[in-house]
Structure 1
Amino acid sequence: MSTPSSYPGPGNAWAPRPGYRRSGYPAVSPAQPSSAPAWTPQAMVHRRRGAVASAIMACLGAIGLAVMLWIIYASTATAASELLVPILLALVPLSIVLVTVRWIDRWEPEPPGVLAAAFLWGAGVATIVSLVINTSASLLVSSTTGSVSGGEFVSAVVTAPIVEESTKGLGVLIIFLLWRRTFNGAVDGIVYAAVVAAGFAFAENILYFVQYSDALLVTFLMRGIASPFAHVTFTACTGLAIGASVRMRSNLAWMWTTPLGLACAIMLHSFWNGILTSDPSLYFFVAIPFFIAAIGLVLWLRWSERMTMRQRLADYQRAGWFSPAEVTMITTGAGRAAARRWAKSRGPAAARAMQAFLKAAAALAQLRQQAIDGHADADFAAQESALLAAIVEQRYAFTR
């Protein structure tokens, strides 16, 4: 059985790999893992700023959602109790989306507070801004042309895609700029985009379920069951583009990838609304193959992320921090499940230690990948030392 002081460390074999922005990082002594700093002033500043920013985003979103619900209540003369059924129905597609997002994000879960801020941005800020602008545009076109249907068509195919995808995409971009450390690639971008879009769809579904209460079942089946991932798929284009910029050398790559992703999101949204407006029967011929392709892309991105994690942990394996069996265990679903079952059989403390071990290993792999991509922070060495110390400590906790 290994102890923190006897577990093999890097020794003279460790050296930073090519691609680091800086060189000459000191090796962490395996004999004194507890001496590694658990935090740095820079990290604490990041946490404080992040907490304040997430609170501001969440408050804005909550206010926006409350205003939208009040507008629904005031404009439809609906009793407050009558909003309960639409809200409950809107929770069905929301649950489907969030469970899927959780599955996609299971390798390295994003901070819950940031995800909550993303959801409320979509449900509140993006929804209320889109509602005001889309309604105004529809009324303007209708009054100008004298055609109500013309105004609705322009709103659905032109205004809505531009405004909705811009406001949702802005939320993803704000999260990226404020919590850049939590973005490790395209998958993270998709996750945040999906949560923003899920919040937007949740609020919008409530509006539609109230507005079309005389055809509630059909509306629910079309929006809640047949197409719960529509908004998610559109906004995921923006999120994917922002996330992909993380893997590029330039710190400003997001400035050109974001508009490209947003353009794709707007075009897909416009195409989708155009199909539903002109011929809803085309849904099954267009939407189903499209969503199958989107699922395939997400699966490939998750596989690519897992392979990247394996490569980065293999660097530490060669330096002596992990055994080959541990790398396989950490980077495979079956291995992680087996490890959790084994640790659980040894008691709650071992189960918690195993969970912390897996989380620290994933964070370590992402940290090293950031350095290889040229985006290492000034406190990279301190972060790496703290994660390695945590890995040794948690390994000892679940093996003793």
Structure 2
Amino acid sequence: MEGEPPEMTILLLAALLPPLFLMIKIYKLDKVEKEPGGLIVKLLIFGVLTTVPAAFLEGFLISLVGGVISPKTTLFILVENFFCVGLVEEGVKYFALKKGSWNHPAFNYTFDGIVYAVAVSIGFAAAENVLYVMEYGMATAGVRAVTSIPGHCIFAIYMGISFSLAKYCEVHGNLPLRKKHLRNAIRIPMLLHGFYDFCASMKEPIWTIIFLVFIVALDVAAYKKVNEMERQDRPL
């Protein structure tokens, strides 16, 4: 009908609005000192760009693992989701996060790391979402709006918590604890991401139940944690 937006525009909006909505929600939680808009945009762009090396590394590693382990086995699914996907995606997002924000003068409060990590992850999720929605349509947009997009945001929240704690330890001269928190900034999101994808990849009904319970528990835990960090926000 005349006057209606083209189908591609609708699909783009369906792909981009959920991640941008979550980015705005997290940004608004940072009540003590808002982060520079330019820095947030830069981190969003970094997140978009990380999809390229992530796709290359994932394809390479999955092919490599597939040459050693039969793709029909549970072991292959486990390795694929935790290492070929979870570790790679969270690893490239962590790299972009650290390069883009660690030494920035605006990184001066403990909640800042969460905002930065979410910005990178939302950039990644938005780019990924556009590709999926353009290929599979509106139904995929609806499913991903309540699963994958919040998932990326939640993984980023946990990355950002450890990232901020590491920065706090560096400022206060505790270098051994700094290293521990930086490792956790990759390790915790990787484990959450890997388990999420592993559950989603399994075909048995029990895994669907586990997947749904895991999503709800993760959402509740992340909501509580991010609000706790906002209340306890303090200078580094």
Q: Same fold, TM exceeding 0.5?
A: yes
- Which of 192, 199, 215 does residue 275 from structure 1 map onto? 199
Counterpart CA distance in 1 for 2:102 and 2:217 is 34
User: Match of 1:250?
Assistant: 173
2:34 is paired with a residue whose SS is: coil
User: What displacement does 1:151 show?
Assistant: 10
User: Match of 1:234?
Assistant: 155
User: Match of 1:139?
Assistant: 63
User: Match of 1:284?
Assistant: 212
Question: Is contact 2:51-2:127 (8 Å) kept?
Answer: yes
User: Match of 1:266?
Assistant: 190
- Judged with a 3 Å threshold, the aligned counterparts in structure 2 of structure 1 residues 152 and 94 are, in CA distance, closer, same or farther, namely farther
User: Match of 1:170?
Assistant: 95
User: What displacement does 1:188 show?
Assistant: 0.7
Superposition RMSD in Å: 2.6
- Judged with a 3 Å threshold, the aligned counterparts in structure 2 of structure 1 residues 211 and 144 are, in CA distance, closer, same or farther, namely farther
1:102-251 matched pairs, under 5 angstroms: 102-124=27-49, 126-142=50-66, 147=71, 153=77, 154-179=79-104, 181-213=105-137, 216-217=138-139, 219-248=140-169, 249-250=172-173
Question: Is contact 1:197-1:231 (8 Å) kept?
Answer: yes
User: What displacement does 1:150 show?
Assistant: 7.3
User: Match of 1:299?
Assistant: 227
TM-score (normalizing by structure 1): 0.51
Question: Is contact 1:198-1:231 (8 Å) kept?
Answer: yes
1:108 is paired with a residue whose SS is: coil
Question: Is contact 2:82-2:191 (8 Å) kept?
Answer: no
- Judged with a 3 Å threshold, the aligned counterparts in structure 2 of structure 1 residues 86 and 139 are, in CA distance, closer, same or farther, namely farther
Question: Is contact 1:169-1:235 (8 Å) kept?
Answer: no
Following TM superposition, the consecutive aligned residue runs of length 4 or more in structure 1 with deviations greater than 4 angstroms are 81-85, 143-146, 148-152
| Structure 1 portions without partners, runs of 5+ | 1-80, 309-365, 371-400
Question: Is contact 1:168-1:197 (8 Å) kept?
Answer: yes
Question: Is contact 2:16-2:126 (8 Å) kept?
Answer: yes
User: What displacement does 1:245 show?
Assistant: 2.7
1:239-388 matched pairs, under 5 angstroms: 239-248=160-169, 249-250=172-173, 252=175, 254-278=178-202, 279-305=207-233, 308=234, 366=235, 370=236
Counterpart CA distance in 2 for 1:263 and 1:111 is 28
Counterpart CA distance in 2 for 1:142 and 1:245 is 36
Counterpart CA distance in 1 for 2:69 and 2:228 is 47
User: What displacement does 1:108 show?
Assistant: 1.0
Q: Percent identity?
A: 23
Determine which structure has greater relative contact order: mean sequence separation of CA pairs < 8 Å that are 6+ residues apart, divided by chain length: 2
2:132 is paired with a residue whose SS is: helix
User: What displacement does 1:159 show?
Assistant: 0.7
Counterpart CA distance in 1 for 2:69 and 2:174 is 47
Question: 1:246 is aligned with what amino acid?
Answer: K
Question: Is contact 1:237-1:262 (8 Å) kept?
Answer: no
1:1-40 matched pairs, under 5 angstroms: none
Counterpart CA distance in 1 for 2:125 and 2:41 is 15
Pair member with larger Rg: 1
1:268 is paired with a residue whose SS is: helix
Counterpart CA distance in 2 for 1:118 and 1:104 is 18
Counterpart CA distance in 1 for 2:8 and 2:83 is 30
Counterpart CA distance in 1 for 2:95 and 2:222 is 22
| Structure 2 portions without partners, runs of 5+ | 1-5
